[in-house]
A and B are shown apart, each in its own frame.
Chain A
Amino acid sequence: MQAIINGCIKKDRSSQYLLYKEFYSYGMAICRRYGISDFDASDVLNNGFLKVFNHIDRYNSDKPFKTWLGRIMTNTAIDHYRSNLKFSNHDDVDEYEGLPIAPGVYEQLAYKDLLALINNLSPAYRTVFNLFAIDGFTHEEIAELLNISIGTSKSNLFKARQKLQEKLLILGTSDEIINKG
C-alpha cells in the first residue's frame, strides 16, 4: 500500500490507477449514501480522487489511509450537496432513548434497501446522520463542517434516527407479512 502511495506522490499514473481501483467501491459507497445520484456519483468520486491525488503528499502515514481518503470523499460529497443543505434550527436534544427494535428484522434488508432509506431522508438529516452514525464525526466536527450549531446537529441526528426507525418498522412489518405468507 505504501508503495502505491509513494507512486502516487510521484504522480505515477499506474500507481494512481491501482489506488483508484482499490478504493473505488469504498469511495462510491460514500458518495451514494450522501444522496448523490448514480448519474453524478462518478463525477463526485473523481473530484474526490483528484483531491486525493493532488494532496497525497500531505497524507500523514500515522493514520489509516482509508480514513483519510474517506474524509476527503465525505467532504467532496458534502460540497456537492452544500447548496441543498438547509438546516432548520431546532431545540437542543440532549437525550434520546431509542425505541427497542426486534432483532432479526434487519438481516433481511439488503444494502440497496438501506441506501434507499437513507436517501429518502432530507439532505440535512441524511448528512448529519451519515457524518455521525457512519463516518464517526463528533457533533463538534459536524457543526464546524456544516457551519451549524452543535444543537442543530444533535437535533437533526435525532430526527433522522426517528424517521429511519419509523421506516424500518414499516418495512419490518411488511417483511413479516411476506415471510408469513
Chain B
Amino acid sequence: MEEENKIDQFFRQGLDSPDIPFKEMDWEKMEAKLDQQDKKRIFPMWLFTASGIAAALALFAFWYFAESRGVQKIRKNPELTINTPRKSRQQPGTRQTIEKQNTAKPTTIKPSLTKAVPLLTNTLIKETLQNESAKNIKTEQVQLLALNNDSALHPPFETAKMASIALIDPEKITVQELLHIRKAIEDKSKPGLFKNQGLTLSFIAAPDISVTKMSKPSKLSSNLGILANYNLTTRLSVTSGLIYSRKRYNYTGFGQQNNAAAYPWDVNADCNVLDIPVNVNYRLLDHKKYSISLNAGASSYVMLKEKYQFRPSNPASTQNPRSIEINNENQYLFGVANIGVSFNREISRGLSIGVQPFIKLPLTGIGYGNARLRSTGVSFSLNLGLFPNK
C-alpha cells in the first residue's frame, strides 16, 4: 500500500461531502421508476395468469360443448324410435314423401337417419338368421336401401360408405355382405376423434415459465414447433417433432471467470433451444368430437445459442457484470422429462385444436452452470389429420 498521497487527500477532502441541495423533482422521477418496476414485475406473472385463464376457459368451453352435445343426443333418441318404424313402413319409391318430411323436420330426421341404418340392419340380420326367408330379406333390403339412398341426398350424412351401400344391387346382396355393411356402419358411428387418422401433424405455440431452484420471477419463455403424432393402437400413440424455444431464466451461481469464483452471481440466461420430444400418449377419454390424453416422455435439448449475463449478487461488489455467449456447444440427450394432459377438440373432419398444460422436469443440468431447469406452461395446438387409415 502506498503512502497517502497529498493530491489524493486533497481531492478526497474537497469532493467527499459537498452539500448538494435536494431536488424534490428527482424523487418524483425515482417514484415513477419504482412504480414502473412494480408494474414490470407484475407483467410476466400477469401474462402467465392470463394464459392460464385462457386455457381454463378453453377447457370449460370444450366441456360445455361436449356436454350439450351429449344432452342433445339423449333428447333426440326417443324421436328416433318413433321415426324409424314409420319410415320403414313406407314403400320404396315414395322418396318424395320422405324428402318432404326431411325438409319439414330436418333437425329431427337427419340424425335419426344415421341411427336408423345400424338399427335397421340389426333387426334385419336377426330376422334373417332366424327364419332365413329370402323374400323377406329382399323387401326389407329395398326399404333399407331406399333409406340410404335418401340419406345420400343430404350432404351432412353423405358419407362414402353410406353412398356405397346405396350403390349395391339389392338383388345380389347376401347375408354376409349385410354383416359386412353393418360392421362398416358400426365402425363409422363408433366414437373416436382420431380413429381414422394414422398420422396427425400438430402446429404448436406454447408460452411457459422456466425456473431453477433459486429463481426470481423469470420472464416468459416461448415455444413454437411442429409435432407428428402416430397412433399405435386406438389408445396409444407416440409423438415427436421439433420445437424451437427461447428459454429465459435466472439462477444464482458462482462466477467461474478470473478470480471471482468465491462470489455469488445472479445469472440471467436467454437461450435458444431446439427441443426434440419423444412422448407416449394414452387416450383416457375418446369421444367423437373430443379426446383427453395423458402424455409422458422425454425431450432432448440442443442448445443453439446461450447468452448469460452475470451480475454480482451484492450490488456493492467490485465485480464487473459480465456476459458470455455460447453457440452450438451443448446437447442434452433426453435431459428433460415431459408430463402433460392434452385436450383435443375436433373442429372439422381431420382438423382439431388442442390445449395442453405441461410440465418439463430436469433429468440433467442444462446449460452453463448446469441449471436444473423446470418449465411449466400451456401449449396450444392445431392438429391436422394426415393419411387416414382404412
Residues of A within 8 A of B (CB): 13, 16-17, 20-21, 24-26, 28-29, 32-33, 42-43, 45-46, 49-55, 58, 67-69, 71-72, 75, 79, 96, 98, 101, 106, 109, 111, 114-115, 118, 129, 132-134, 137-138, 141-142, 144-147, 161, 164-165, 168
- A25 touching B26, Cβ below 8 Å: no
Cα(A129)–Cα(B5), bound, Å: 11
User: In the complex, what's the smallest C-beta–C-beta distance from B3 to chain A, in angstroms?
Assistant: 9
| B3-16 contact mask (Cβ, 8 Å, vs A): 1 or 0 | 00111111110111
| B133-167 contact mask (Cβ, 8 Å, vs A): 1 or 0 | 00000000000000000000000000000000000
- B20 touching A29, Cβ below 8 Å: yes
Cα(A12)–Cα(B205), bound, Å: 40
**A-B CB contact pairs (8 Å), 15 listed:** A21-B27, A25-B21, A29-B16, A29-B20, A46-B30, A55-B314, A58-B315, A75-B316, A96-B2, A96-B5, A133-B9, A133-B11, A146-B320, A164-B7, A165-B7
Stretch of B31-39, B116-124, B193-201, B283-291 at the chain-chain interface = B31-39
- A106 touching B14, Cβ below 8 Å: yes
Cα(A72)–Cα(B10), bound, Å: 24
Cα(A28)–Cα(B16), bound, Å: 11
User: In the complex, what's the smallest C-beta–C-beta distance from B204 to chain A, in angstroms?
Assistant: 36
B34: which of A28, A50, A109, A144 is its contact (CB, 8 Å)?
A50
- B313 touching A58, Cβ below 8 Å: yes
- Other A-B contacts than A52-B315, A134-B12, A144-B258, 14 sampled, CB-CB below 8 A, are A17-B27, A20-B27, A21-B22, A29-B18, A50-B33, A71-B315, A72-B315, A96-B2, A96-B5, A111-B14, A133-B9, A134-B15, A147-B320, A168-B7
List residues of chain A with CB within 8 A of the CB of B319: 144-145
- A26 touching B320, Cβ below 8 Å: no
User: In the complex, what's the smallest C-beta–C-beta distance from A88 to chain B, in angstroms?
Assistant: 19
Q: Which residue of B lies closest to A59 (CB)?
A: B316
Cα(A71)–Cα(B315), bound, Å: 8
List residues of chain B with CB within 8 A of the CB of A17: 27
User: In the complex, what's the smallest C-beta–C-beta distance from B275 to chain A, in angstroms?
Assistant: 33
A26: which of B8, B11, B17, B258 is its contact (CB, 8 Å)?
B17
Check: B321 CB closer than 8 A to any chain A CB.
yes
User: In the complex, what's the smallest C-beta–C-beta distance from A85 to chain B, in angstroms?
Assistant: 11
Answer whether A46 and B29 are a contact pair too, CB < 8 Å, given A133-B8, A133-B12: yes
Top 5 A-B pairs ranked by shortest CB distance? A133-B8, A71-B316, A114-B14, A25-B20, A141-B318
Answer whether A137 and B17 are a contact pair too, CB < 8 Å, given A46-B29, A101-B7: no
- A111 touching B26, Cβ below 8 Å: no
Cα(A68)–Cα(B317), bound, Å: 9
List residues of chain A with CB within 8 A of the CB of B318: 71, 75, 137, 141-142, 144-145
Q: Which residue of A lies closest to B322 (CB)?
A: A147
Cα(A165)–Cα(B2), bound, Å: 18
User: In the complex, what's the smallest C-beta–C-beta distance from A75 to chain B, in angstroms?
Assistant: 7
B259: which of A24, A26, A28, A144 is its contact (CB, 8 Å)?
A144
User: In the complex, what's the smallest C-beta–C-beta distance from B4 to chain A, in angstroms?
Assistant: 10
The interface size bin for chain B is 35 or more
Cα(A43)–Cα(B30), bound, Å: 9
- B30 touching A49, Cβ below 8 Å: yes
A42: which of B8, B9, B23, B313 is its contact (CB, 8 Å)?
B23
Cα(A53)–Cα(B27), bound, Å: 13
- A98 touching B5, Cβ below 8 Å: yes
Cα(A141)–Cα(B321), bound, Å: 14
List residues of chain B with CB within 8 A of the CB of A43: 29
- A79 touching B321, Cβ below 8 Å: yes
Cα(A13)–Cα(B12), bound, Å: 33
A24: which of B10, B14, B22, B315 is its contact (CB, 8 Å)?
B22
Cα(A45)–Cα(B37), bound, Å: 16
User: In the complex, what's the smallest C-beta–C-beta distance from A115 to chain B, in angstroms?
Assistant: 7
- A25 touching B19, Cβ below 8 Å: yes
User: In the complex, what's the smallest C-beta–C-beta distance from A141 to chain B, in angstroms?
Assistant: 4
User: In the complex, what's the smallest C-beta–C-beta distance from B320 to chain A, in angstroms?
Assistant: 5
- B18 touching A25, Cβ below 8 Å: yes
Cα(A101)–Cα(B30), bound, Å: 43
Check: B260 CB closer than 8 A to any chain A CB.
yes
Q: Which residue of B lies closest to A146 (CB)?
A: B320
- B260 touching A144, Cβ below 8 Å: yes
User: In the complex, what's the smallest C-beta–C-beta distance from A165 to chain B, in angstroms?
Assistant: 6
List residues of chain A with CB within 8 A of the CB of B10: 101, 106
List residues of chain A with CB within 8 A of the CB of B27: 17, 20-21
Q: Which residue of A lies closest to B21 (CB)?
A: A25
List residues of chain A with CB within 8 A of the CB of B321: 79
- B11 touching A118, Cβ below 8 Å: yes
Cα(A161)–Cα(B5), bound, Å: 9
Cα(A133)–Cα(B15), bound, Å: 11
Q: Which residue of B lies closest to A78 (CB)?
A: B320
User: In the complex, what's the smallest C-beta–C-beta distance from A142 to chain B, in angstroms?
Assistant: 8
Cα(A145)–Cα(B6), bound, Å: 25
- B5 touching A133, Cβ below 8 Å: yes
B15: which of A25, A114, A141 is its contact (CB, 8 Å)?
A114
List residues of chain A with CB within 8 A of the CB of B8: 129, 132-134, 161
Q: Which residue of B lies closest to A29 (CB)?
A: B18
User: In the complex, what's the smallest C-beta–C-beta distance from A48 to chain B, in angstroms?
Assistant: 9
